[in-house]
Amino acid sequence: MMPAVDGSGAGAGHGARVSFSSRPAAFGLRIVNAPGLSGHLIPMSQLLPHCPSAASSCPPLCPHYPFPHLENEGWIALIQRGECSFVEKVREAQRLGAVGVVVGGREKGRDDELITMYSPADATDIGIPSCYVTYDSYAGLMKLWDKSNNTTPSGYKALDLLLGEDEAWQWPVFTFSLLLLLPSILTLLTLVVHRIRQQRAEVRERAPEDIVHSLPTRVWNGSHWDKDEAIHNAENGEARPKTPTVEIGRHKMHWAWFETQVECAICLSAFERGDRVRVLPCGHVFHIDEIDGWLVKQKKLVSLLATLMNPYLMICPVPYLQDRRYPTSCDSSHLAQQHPRLPACCCAR
């Protein structure tokens, strides 16, 4: 929303008010106090009718003719674009005592748009506000002035005008700020998207909690493995397990070979009496407290790094399937392809 130029007068109807969009100049005084700057609008061409270049207010303005003195009448100059720079027009109007300047477009056309008036040279001497309006707005102000019955104390025909206060967020400032922040915004969005994709990939790498809890458990009694008491009671009808035991399709794994495992491949500690372990589909056993957290929160693939230190664990037993088909490698790739949700092991060699 641009600052408004409001014109009112008898010609526009009693109490009528017409608003025109404008854009403040990049030099000169800023209008920061509400409701804005009010004054009497006088076209420069009517203030100096004997000067052919008065409409554009380009210096020198008829140096051989006397100039009117309107310093204390609070008038605002209406000037048309062209023939010289914007700052020269405003400087000349300031010299004649204007408290503000409205510069209008030169002619109607496709390029008749609001622009920001800049000064390539030093303009620190400009102490009045100025703004730019399109040619249509300029022509509308001229019509309102022509119909106005108001006059200044010195007798000049004038149109009551209000230059609205400058808005805090105007087009140049907003665009410049957006250009500065755009790389940071794009970088932040890229990081967020990357993090979301990474988090989804991590979730896919984890084993479902219900699947992990449904895997069989065993208890070490000092000489061999016993069934977990909870599962044993469930089989006798005394209790029901929280989740059903995993069955891989129509193939049931036989885990007799895990009787030979005497230590946990994660903590490298030998199993002690009363230790509860989780039996994975690949046949490896681990302490429940250690393997469950890894499978649910980290990955469903367990790397047996302990094999680097314990050559005994380098011999990966191959699970036996009821249909007498065997996985082709000890990393359980055969199981992983058929059952991607199941945890598996990968032996480090």
- Classify strands 301-304 and 344-347 as parallel, antiparallel or unpaired: parallel
Domain termination site, one of 114, 142, 168: 168
pLDDT of residue 150: 82
pLDDT of 21? 86
Provide CB contacts within 8 A for 5, sequence distance 6+.
19, 20, 21, 22, 102, 131, 133, 137, 141, 161, 162, 163, 164
Q: Are residues 90 and 187 in the same domain?
A: no
Q: What is the pLDDT along the chain (349 residues), one digit of tens a residue?
A: 344 455 554 344 445 678 888 888 988 888 877 788 888 898 888 877 777 666 667 777 665 556 666 667 788 999 988 888 899 989 988 888 889 999 998 877 667 788 889 888 888 899 999 999 999 899 999 999 888 888 877 778 888 888 888 765 555 667 778 888 999 999 999 999 999 999 888 888 777 878 878 888 888 887 777 776 654 454 444 444 444 444 444 334 444 556 677 788 778 888 888 888 888 877 788 888 888 877 877 776 665 544 333 434 433 443 433 443 434 344 444 445 555 555 656 554 4
- Containing structural domain, residue 283: 209-347
pLDDT score of 118: 87
CATH number at residue 143: 3.50.30.30
pTM of the model: 0.48
Q: Are residues 293 and 311 in the same domain?
A: yes
- The total number of structural domains in the chain stands at 3
Residues 305 and 342 in one domain: yes
Cis peptide before 317 (omega within 30 of 0): no
Whether the Cβ atoms of residue 75 and residue 158 lie closer than 8 Å to each other: yes
Question: Rg of the chain over CA atoms, in angstroms?
Answer: 44
Q: Shortest CA distance to 267 belongs to which of 284, 290, 296?
A: 290
Residues 151 and 260 in one domain: no
* Residues 90 and 227 reside in one and the same domain: no
The CA distances from residue 192 to 178, 188, 203, 206, in Å, are 20, 6, 16, 21
If asked whether residues 29 and 148 sit together in one domain, one would say: yes
**Is residue 273 domain-shared with residue 236, that is, in the same domain?**
yes
199 and 250: one domain?
A: no
Residue 153 sits in the same domain as residue 191: no
Q: What is the pLDDT of residue 102?
A: 94
pLDDT for the residue numbered 69 = 63
> Whats the size of the chain, residue-wise?
349
* C-alpha closest to that of 172 among 89, 114, 123, 130: 114
Q: 309 and 273 in one domain?
A: yes
| Cβ(104)–Cβ(78) below 8 Å | yes
Q: Are residues 154 and 251 in the same domain?
A: no
Instruction: Let me know whether 75 and 182 are in one domain.
Output: no
User: Residue 195: its pLDDT value, please?
Assistant: 94
